[in-house]
Amino acid sequence: MELWEKLSRQRIKHIVSSYCLGGDEVNRFDLYLDELLQLYPRPLIELALIETLIDYWLTVPLVRGVEFLVQAHDRLKTWESQPIVSTITPEQFKQIAGLDPAPIFGSAELPTCSIVRPL
């Protein structure tokens, strides 16, 4: 695995651990996440995780585990056949994920508008 792959995987692990998204069935969650990593670009997975997190933010208890990944995967599937439209800005991504938004939004600068199609 190349360095950039390790770093991007670490970014995803950071999102998962920051919000305890693994749930009770950590092994099943990890296997499913590995499948997603084989199917989709890592930046899209990051964006899908954050967008899904926002969708379920007010759900008590927060959706976690495999159920959370199913929802993120559904979003990724939708993006396969439709334009990718994000509801958040790069600055919001940075605040929620605690990560540099440049790999997701394709720019080191933080535009004030939402993305339409990330790289």
pLDDT digits over 61-86, tens only?
889 999 999 999 999 999 999 988 88
- Residue 56: inside a domain, yes or no? yes
In a domain, 50, yes or no: yes
Q: What Cα–Cα distance (Å) separates residue 16 from each residue in 12, 52, 107, 116?
A: 6, 12, 24, 25
> Which residues have a Cβ under 8 Å from the Cβ of 19 and sit 6 or more positions away?
53, 62
In a domain, 115, yes or no: no
Label residue 114 by pLDDT band (50, 70, 90): very low
- Domain assignment present for residue 113? The answer is no
Q: pTM, whole model, 2 decimals?
A: 0.84
Range of the domain at 72: 3-83
Number of domains comprising the chain: 1
Q: Does residue 89 form part of some domain?
A: no
Residue 11 belongs to some domain of the structure: yes
pLDDT of residue 89: 93
Within a domain: residue 37? yes
The answer to whether residue 106 is domain-embedded is: no
Three-class SS state of 55? helix
